[in-house]
A and B are shown apart, each in its own frame.
Chain A
Amino acid sequence: MKSSQTPKPNRRTGMPDHAPRWPDRLLTWLIAPHLREEVLGDLHERYQLRVQRLGEAKARRRYWRDLLAYVRLSMIKRQSSDYPTPFFLTPGMLRNYVKIAFRNLVKNPVFSAINVIGLALGMICCLFIFLWVQDEESVDTFHANGKNLYTAYQTFSSPGKVDGKYGTPMRVVNQRAVFLLEDVKSAVPEVQNTVFYATGYELPWGHPETFQTGEKKFKLEGSRASRDFFKMFSYPLIAGHAETALNDIGGMAISRKMAELFFGSPQNALGKSLRYENKLDFRVTAVFENLPVQSSLKFDFLLTWEAQKSKLEWASNDFRTYVQLAETADPKTVETKINRFLQPRLARNTGVTTQIGLQPFGEQYLHGNFVNGKPDGGRIEYVRIFSGVALFILLIACINFMNLATARSVKRAKEVGVRKVLGSTRGHLIGQFFGEALLLAFLAMLVTLLLVTLFMPLFNAFTGKQIASPLTQPSFWVSLLGLTVFTGTIAGSYPALFLSSLQPVRILKGVLRFTQSAIWFRQGLTVFQFGLAIILLVATIVVSRQTRYVQDTHLGYDRENLLYVRIEGELMTQRNYLLFKEQVSRMPGIALVDRSSEAPHVMGFVVDANDGAANTSQDAINWEGKEKNVSVGFKPTSVGFDFVKLMNLKVAQGRDFSRANATDSTDAFLVNEEAVKQMGLKKPIGKWISAWQKKGHIIGILKDYHTHSLHEPIKPLVMDVKEYEYFGVILVRTEAGKTKEALASLGKVYKELNPNYPFAYQFIDQEYEKLYRSEEVMAKLSNVFAVLAILISCLGLLGLVMFSTEQRTKEIGIRKVLGASVSQIIMLFSRDFLRLVWIAILIASPIAWYAMNQWLQSFAYKIDIAWWIFAASGFGALAVTLLTVSFQSIKAALMNPVKSLRSE
């Protein structure tokens, strides 16, 4: 207990007077207030005496014992008072608070409405976004083994370049695909199951596949998976067993929907046979329940992996590998073990190292993009952007509340003064104003609840989701309550602190002036509010302009009146194709018919030395004067003679394919300008070029045209004539305005020549627009958000202007009497607010520019962010502000001064 420093001598007595400090504090807290003085005095005096008599150490020890002697009821018990301070949450006080709050609401219906509507709009935004985010996050999380499921991805590193994609390596040995991780289970004990999965509908070659039984023909989208699929994933089976569903190479699992389509009921379907693409028969070995919307894997039927390997076409070069690990396994160690197992099996000396990584299965939906060879980003970015925006809109609404409440504090100041005089502490007042904000937030919540239920179907249509009404979920109510309390607390914070800090003496004397910092704070809030609104406005303009740019850009070919039909069934033979072409060309409404190995608006097939395929020893495409180690990502495509004419492509140099030229079907290649540039050819015409086994000469150069969405730059293209290919699409150019006749003609010929397939066609312009679906949702949402932000900000502004005109009624009267004109008075009011908006524009523009520039990076072809976009959104904000302000200020300015000055 001994203090290390020597006590300072007391000035008057010359004695040290350091009684230990903190016991005093303890006593102060413990002893009843009316006894404190005596008790502490006694203790200190006794301590002094003892220090003199016994020395400091002993005195201190005694001090403690003395102190303990005071711990008795008679010392601790508080004296009762005739004027007690009631606990501020007594029912009586509460009733008073609620009454006052209610009176304030009713007395100023306009302000209350502005507040409630503003808060409700903010909360609606938040709630919808919350539902959307919750739905996004629930994707793929319903599997019982969810925690132990992983998606394998590969990281390819070559000097100076790291790429990544899903899937695992395969090699072609003796014309057969060998999947290198097929038997990893035996080598790595932690791996419990491995499943390969590939869709049949993915681009570039995938498509809905045709099934037939009797007269029933349907095209359905499905996939192939290896045998443990149903053991690993929790897709419930209605008929059949998970063990045997995919065992048999001739078996297939179908969905309830497909079973009902063909056989009426799932039970009937089991064991029945379906004809696939008019060439193979598959027996139904299992029927699974229709897939939940939360499944990122989509399929209506599953064929076996064995069938895929030996009998079926690949839809793309991609397939997925899913791994189930043991409960206790650490994915990092398993990754190392898998890689150790894999390395000796990979092809050597390719200059590319391949590493396997594992990503939790539940994450692949939101984190599906690859950066530096690892999954990073993806849809999660939209989730983040939208959550951020929703939060900001809520903040704007809260700022409205703060601004209005503090501006209007003049009205409440007297109440604060009187309450303080009557013994209210600051704590009570803070509680009261927080309570009022919460009450208002609660009202807003009721409005929110009503509107959310009302707009739920619209929201679903908007986002393309199927979110059920959330009212039955407890988590929704919890988050709603949380949101309400959060909103109330944020909105009430500043008003509560501000109002409770007012000095009763000054208020009741009638002097209430806002301090400079309070004014700045309020103006800062307004600037912040409008800054956000302007950023959203800029975003809206940029996004919608980019969307329009994408839709209006001339792609280098004419996509109007252009449709395509898949080459399948009988059309796969050259003879039937030519017959079809010839017959259709003679029908009404048809301008031209030709073919292409891929739908020309989304050509996904790229040949690249690094594409992970096994045949990297020799590049697929070679040309005269090609240097070693040059790798060009070509898009090879095979077309018919009329393709260039049909597509309206421009030939820059040389000539088009021609039937008149006998060698054109075997020896001629067209390339585009980009290809010439990347191949490094000076005089390309006449140089030899080869694609796989076919060798020929370049006869012409096409002007660059877009073969993919504008997210990607134009790739080198190499084109030849192959009318005998068994795959691809038939392109049909219809005569403008005669689409109906053209479709009728096509359907008729198709039915005759290809009776086993339903006639299905796609319009290129519609399909092209589908490539930008996520941008379109983004554009729509940013529109909604911008409108909301402006709306809420203006509501707040309206409130502020109304209040300030109300406050300055007399001033306006006097000004008018002294000769001010209406326009001068309007200017007087507008100037302050317009200045704030100006500042907001200055601050928001660079931020908006930065953000939108980031967004545009995902496009290879994009608009410039021109200065006028900022000018326009700034002008828009100013105009709306002026409109809001002048609406009120004109009313105030037109008032008869006699009326405003008469009453005193």
Chain B
Amino acid sequence: MRRSDLGEFEEVVLLAVAVLVPKAYSVMIAEELERETGQTVSTGAVHAALQRLEQKGYVTSVLGEATAERGGRRKRLFTVSALGGRVLTEVRSVRNRLWDRIVPPTLLEWS
């Protein structure tokens, strides 16, 4: 699996979907990311990322029910697919392996 298949923002969004399931849709995800990162995240960016993830097969989606806040419009709810889960795990293990190889004096210098 190549690194370029999952951008950094995509990775974060994918993680957020995994966290928020079963109520993962773009507004929730954007709000969640804003809270976690402290930066503004627009629904447009999230939506675009979700589209890409869906194309790659990492998430699946269904239309949910309408709510009043949305002016009677339905929302699209996302879940992480099995492939998406595997990719996430793989990315995480790569990171973990690398983290584990950092020698303690270096870590001490950062903190």
* A residues adjacent to B (C-beta < 8 A): 10, 12-13, 17, 19, 37-46, 48-49, 62, 65-70, 72, 74-75
B103 interfacial contact with A, CB 8 Å? no
Identify the closest chain A residue to B73 (Cβ).
Answer: A41
Identify the closest chain A residue to B72 (Cβ).
Answer: A41
> Which residue of A17, A38, A75 contacts B73 across the interface (Cβ within 8 Å)?
A38
Most buried by A among B30, B47, B74: B47
Q: Does B69 contact A45, Cβ atoms closer than 8 Å?
A: yes
Q: In the complex, what residues of A have CB within 8 A of residue B42's CB?
A: 65-66, 69
Pull 12 A–B residue pairs with CB atoms less than 8 Å apart, ordered by A. A38-B73, A40-B73, A41-B74, A45-B67, A45-B69, A46-B30, A46-B31, A62-B40, A69-B45, A70-B44, A70-B47, A74-B51
Q: In the complex, what residues of A have CB within 8 A of residue B71's CB?
A: 17, 19, 40-41, 44
Tell me the smallest distance from the CB of A366 to a CB of chain B, in Å.
Answer: 67
> Which residue of A44, A65, A68, A74 contacts B69 across the interface (Cβ within 8 Å)?
A44
Q: Does A74 contact B27, Cβ atoms closer than 8 Å?
A: no
B70 interfacial contact with A, CB 8 Å? yes
Q: In the complex, what residues of A have CB within 8 A of residue B25's CB?
A: 42
Q: In the complex, what residues of A have CB within 8 A of residue B27's CB?
A: 42, 45-46, 49
Q: Does B43 contact A43, Cβ atoms closer than 8 Å?
A: yes
Chain A's interface: helix, strand, loop or mixed, by majority? helix
Q: Does A17 contact B47, Cβ atoms closer than 8 Å?
A: no
Q: Does A38 contact B75, Cβ atoms closer than 8 Å?
A: yes
Instruction: Name B11-50 residues within 8 Å CB distance of A.
Output: 25-27, 30-31, 40, 42-45, 47-48
Q: Does A66 contact B73, Cβ atoms closer than 8 Å?
A: no
Q: In the complex, what residues of B have CB within 8 A of residue A45's CB?
A: 27, 67, 69-70, 75
Q: Does B70 contact A41, Cβ atoms closer than 8 Å?
A: yes
Tell me the smallest distance from the CB of A755 to a CB of chain B, in Å.
Answer: 110
Q: Does A38 contact B76, Cβ atoms closer than 8 Å?
A: yes
Identify the closest chain A residue to B71 (Cβ).
Answer: A44
Identify the closest chain B residue to A11 (Cβ).
Answer: B68
* B residues adjacent to A (C-beta < 8 A): 25-27, 30-31, 40, 42-45, 47-48, 51, 66-71, 73-76
> Which residue of B69, B75, B76 contacts A48 across the interface (Cβ within 8 Å)?
B69
Q: In the complex, what residues of B have CB within 8 A of residue A37's CB?
A: 73-74
Tell me the smallest distance from the CB of B28 to a CB of chain A, in Å.
Answer: 9
Q: In the complex, what residues of A have CB within 8 A of residue B74's CB?
A: 37-38, 41
Q: Does A69 contact B43, Cβ atoms closer than 8 Å?
A: yes
Q: In the complex, what residues of B have CB within 8 A of residue A39's CB?
A: 47
Q: In the complex, what residues of B have CB within 8 A of residue A10's CB?
A: 68
Q: Does A72 contact B68, Cβ atoms closer than 8 Å?
A: no
Q: Does B44 contact A44, Cβ atoms closer than 8 Å?
A: no
Tell me the smallest distance from the CB of A402 to a CB of chain B, in Å.
Answer: 46
Q: In the complex, what residues of A have CB within 8 A of residue B45's CB?
A: 69
Tell me the smallest distance from the CB of A86 to a CB of chain B, in Å.
Answer: 28
Given A38-B76, A44-B69, A46-B27; A66-B48 close (CB under 8 Å): no
Q: Does B26 contact A74, Cβ atoms closer than 8 Å?
A: no
A17-B69, A42-B70, A65-B40 are known contacts; what are 19 more A-B pairs with Cβ within 8 Å?
Answer: A10-B68, A17-B68, A19-B71, A38-B73, A40-B71, A40-B73, A42-B25, A42-B75, A45-B69, A45-B70, A46-B30, A46-B31, A48-B69, A49-B27, A49-B31, A66-B42, A68-B44, A69-B44, A75-B44
A147 and B26 alpha carbons, distance in the complex (Å): 73
> Which residue of B26, B51, B73 contacts A44 across the interface (Cβ within 8 Å)?
B73
Q: Does B68 contact A42, Cβ atoms closer than 8 Å?
A: no
Tell me the smallest distance from the CB of B93 to a CB of chain A, in Å.
Answer: 31
Q: In the complex, what residues of A have CB within 8 A of residue B47's CB?
A: 38-39, 42, 70, 75
Q: Does A66 contact B69, Cβ atoms closer than 8 Å?
A: no
Identify the closest chain B residue to A62 (Cβ).
Answer: B40
Q: In the complex, what residues of A have CB within 8 A of residue B40's CB?
A: 62, 65
Identify the closest chain B residue to A69 (Cβ).
Answer: B44
Identify the closest chain B residue to A37 (Cβ).
Answer: B73
> Which residue of B30, B48, B51, B75 contacts A41 across the interface (Cβ within 8 Å)?
B75
Given A37-B74, A38-B76; A66-B43 close (CB under 8 Å): yes
Tell me the smallest distance from the CB of B19 to a CB of chain A, in Å.
Answer: 18
A43 and B26 alpha carbons, distance in the complex (Å): 10
Tell me the smallest distance from the CB of B18 to a CB of chain A, in Å.
Answer: 20
A186 and B7 alpha carbons, distance in the complex (Å): 92
Q: In the complex, what residues of B have CB within 8 A of residue A49's CB?
A: 27, 31, 69
Lowest 6 A-B CB distances belong to which pairs?
A: A69-B44, A41-B73, A41-B70, A69-B42, A70-B44, A42-B43
A829 and B31 alpha carbons, distance in the complex (Å): 79
Identify the closest chain B residue to A65 (Cβ).
Answer: B42
A42 and B24 alpha carbons, distance in the complex (Å): 12
Most buried by B among A39, A45, A70: A45
A42 and B75 alpha carbons, distance in the complex (Å): 7
Identify the closest chain A residue to B42 (Cβ).
Answer: A69
A422 and B26 alpha carbons, distance in the complex (Å): 39
Tell me the smallest distance from the CB of B30 to a CB of chain A, in Å.
Answer: 7
Tell me the smallest distance from the CB of B44 to a CB of chain A, in Å.
Answer: 3
Q: In the complex, what residues of A have CB within 8 A of residue B48's CB?
A: 72, 74-75
Identify the closest chain A residue to B74 (Cβ).
Answer: A37
Tell me the smallest distance from the CB of A49 to a CB of chain B, in Å.
Answer: 7
Q: In the complex, what residues of A have CB within 8 A of residue B75's CB?
A: 38, 41-42, 45
Identify the closest chain B residue to A15 (Cβ).
Answer: B69
Given A38-B75, A38-B76, A72-B48; A44-B70 close (CB under 8 Å): yes
